[in-house]
Structure 1
């Protein structure tokens, strides 16, 4: 862990290191993510590149948050929310504070970002996103979530400082167990998102980054 953090910090400009040193709480890490642009690119950025370029989509933002949380003593845990075929997945950097779970995240939807550490279980945390997890047509799309991955297992792939292995890492995450929160029988019974909630979700969104529903 120390070597991964030292490598990361060694590649920062002084101003970037000062900025990162100021991100000394999950709330401040989220506040930084809220200032960067949402990426519509079809490639991944490592945390170092996110800091350099101030842009990232949910994968990039979650990895940055995990790296920043790691610097302040939390393990770099990534949880993936799994949708049906009509939406994108979503990554959270999750953290546990005084026995309760919270999350830091980047999203094109304002309602899919930060969660305070008030949730007693990971399932409870994930379900706090359920009512806001819909596509551009209002279809509710969450199916479940993967067991959180401690990204220290990918330290040898330099996930904090290099884009080179992020495609592999993204694919490798697929081997982790999915825990369903919605059964196949429930799916056709789910009510669509309320029009006002749907409208609020698009505030500040990059419309080019929305999942294209056929």
Structure 2
């Protein structure tokens, strides 16, 4: 069994993107004055641009995804994208057609649905030790509190209720769930909220090509450490019962059929 817990997270894996060390020791609580730009409603013009790009069936689907809770419910129905035919970073339009998604693709679809209904399309990137895989979620805010929409195949790293006062508080709620098979806690940094509305919606909502450029842009954004370096040495390993729980999966990878039976 691989040393890494396989979460089907597949982000920044084979893109040729080198790991960056753009961590900041400053907590995001020191930049709260800048958060207002993330909490404002989406401009009507950007929302309308998204609506004009979508086909009638796509608009009908987005219309049903009117709340973060409904978006999460929809993502939960999609099988995990195991990338059986190669690495993918699909835009929301392609996800709707393929009816499958991994975490990055699910987060983009969630962000697009939120933008369709007038909210900021925000991502939050999680960065791990080299032996583990990164994760991405879509952020939302309700009544002044932050929550997250997440696509995952496991009982961990899932949806977060809008119960957190800051992006950091929300990010740290993932810390004890991010584990290696040997019990190490592997989450090391989280990004500032990444606003997709700074990009034309044609580039990320309805694009046909893989969004490698967006993965790279997200990786380059400012990240904050989850734990001070001096505290890393004292981290306890996970309990055995926690590791056993990691084996729970929602979608099982299909075994490859012999060539004579493949269609």
In the alignment, does 2:40 pair up with 1:40? no
Equivalents in 1 of 2:112, 2:236: separation in Å? 37
Equivalents in 1 of 2:218, 2:61: separation in Å? 30
Deviation, structure 1 residue 114: 0.6
Structure 1 length-normalised TM = 0.87
Contact (CA 8 Å) 1:159, 1:165: kept in 2 or not? no
SS in 1 for 2:77: coil
SS in 1 for 2:238: coil
Equivalents in 2 of 1:106, 1:207: separation in Å? 15
**Structure ranking higher on relative contact order (CA contacts 8 Å, 6+ apart):** 2
Structure 2 length-normalised TM = 0.72
Residue number in structure 1 paired with 2:66: 24
The 3 A distance-change label for structure 1 pair 185 and 206 is: farther
For residues 28-68 of structure 1, give each alpha carbon's deviation from its aligned partner in whole angstroms, at most 9, with x where no partner exists: 10011111111122221111111111111110000001001
SS in 1 for 2:216: helix
Runs (5+) with no aligned partner, structure 2: 1-45, 254-263
The 3 A distance-change label for structure 1 pair 111 and 24 is: same
| Larger proportion of strand | 1
In the alignment, does 2:128 pair up with 1:83? yes
Q: 2:233 aligns with which of 188, 201, 207?
A: 188
Residue number in structure 1 paired with 2:171: 126
Contact (CA 8 Å) 2:72, 2:150: kept in 1 or not? yes
SS in 2 for 1:125: helix
In the alignment, does 2:145 pair up with 1:66? no
Contact (CA 8 Å) 1:44, 1:163: kept in 2 or not? no
Runs (5+) with no aligned partner, structure 1: 209-214
For residues 167-201 of structure 1, give each alpha carbon's deviation from its aligned partner in whole angstroms, at most 9, with x where no partner exists: 01111222211111113332232222222222323
Aligned residues: CA RMSD: 1.9
